[in-house]
Structure 1
Amino acid sequence: MRIPDANLAEVFDRGFTVVESFLDKETLRACQEALWEIYPRPEDYFADPEAHPRFARSQFAGLRFFPYPSWAINRVCVYPDLIDAAERFLQTTEIDCYKIELWAKYSGAVDYDQAHHRDYENHTIVVPRADQLMPQMTCFILLSDVTELDGPTKAVPLEKTRHIPIGITRTEMGEFFDDEVAVTGPAGSILIYKTDVFHRGSNFKAPGRSRFVMPIDFKKRGWRWQGKLAWPDRALNPGWKEAMVKMTPRQRDLFGWPPAGDPYWNAQTLADVALRYPGIDLSPYGAHAEEPTPAEA
């Protein structure tokens, strides 16, 4: 669904917003089924947790970075309504998708409780502006139902923390627990928040529970002090080529793909990119490609 303007405004006013039924049912169902190519199904995990010791190594052991083996997961990262929301939030079509993750948690695997913190330390090499210019749009898409029992993210409204200098990134354990809001909702919901918002991960409150989310982040292109992942570093991973082939030119642009009309495109690059990505439709780029130079002719 298209995220209402009021929810995007709430991110600036409150620091975060939650929208239910964001993903359509078919996209959500396909993505959920493809999760089991990466993670154990909850019933399999809880049948023998010791068979999956990696999830006990740290709170972040369940993180997996883009790309993924299945297009059913990869297409969620470039969901049209997500791109639309990022464009409106950042007030430009010149945007980068700078981080995509999957995150699985299983109750009892590890202590997931955290103190409140701000995320910007590994999203920018400086600090966010307090006047809310030059923001980054950070998101969690819920891929499973999240209740109070399921270790929800807990965020503190900006009105409770505006007195804290942006340069302070962490609070003492327990501080602001009375002010926090649990981010709960059915699978397919989306949380959008800013990197200067205090929030934390919380523990599960019942055995046999699990939580699956997809964090995705956007920034305005050209703000070189912001970012997190370098996509060329991920281009050899399974799923990358299929994702690039199946994406539209607009979706590829989010990863820094040269746009149609860019001087990069000529007869040689069109031919060789087609060899690297079998089956890709490069006609949108070829229509405006540079004529070959005499040396190429």
Structure 2
Amino acid sequence: MLNLLTTNQLSRSFHQHQIVQPLDLQLSRGDILGLLGPNGAGKSTIMRMICGDLAPSSGAVEICGFDLLEQPLQAKRNIGYLPERPPLHPDQTVDEFLADCAYLHGLSRAQIGEARSAAKKHCGLEQSGRRLIRKLSKGYQQRVGLAQAIIHDPQLLILDEPTDGLDPGQIRQLRELIKALATDKAVILSSHILSEIQATCNRVVILQQGKTVYNGDITPAEQTGYRLGLEQNPLESEIAALPAIATAEQMHTDYFLITLEPGYRPSECLEQLLGRGWQVCELSPASRSLEQLFLQATTGGLQ
């Protein structure tokens, strides 16, 4: 299967300071990659290099098999880019702006009308075509920015903070749109909202000071223990004193995170808990959340 995006040791330096350390990525159809990291971690720099807006200091980018530096026109025809600040022309109407974007992407005059209608329908702009962009709300301007990114039906979508300015209903609609588009495309999505990355993406790259500290599945398979909820509120030491339990940590007033001693099963742990007279309201496998993954990765807890 042809990769829609391949980066090989992609990096960027400025005045001998490495802003982005060498990054290797491969995305194929159906992939939705979330880029996470604190402010200044290098997320926007990576997206700008991938879309050809910023030249890398070293490394290579291939889009649908085309080298971005050697074959820029062929590569860029397959990219749709929504920067953090949408590149809008406020004194144009939505229809005028989208028609210009389609023309710049190489669509013929016969193709522009159909492509514009499809993009407007995807982004909920059917009734906004004759409105001036400067008179639209911030949320609708964001929709216009997304429409210009998809109007030429690109294979790779690069979206930098696409939910900025949208209300919860619009965010939900955008999430469903991204998932629908990703059935035959690859998407890179940057957001500070972890819940949006969790709900939308299937892969994640976490950056810290330009270095990739995690690159993998959005929900790591590794189990971190068991989530234990009790009607009572015993001390951690009292729970850990049970033969089946190796460690116990109170994660919240409502539950503990426990690990079992080797050889013990959850059913045996449950018997011991009930034997102490504690009422158990929950004992379920616990997996590391995206928030835990992010915090561990950016504070040096992951290798």
TM-score normalized with structure 2 length: 0.23
Higher RCO (Cα < 8 Å, 6 or more apart): 1
TM-score normalized with structure 1 length: 0.24
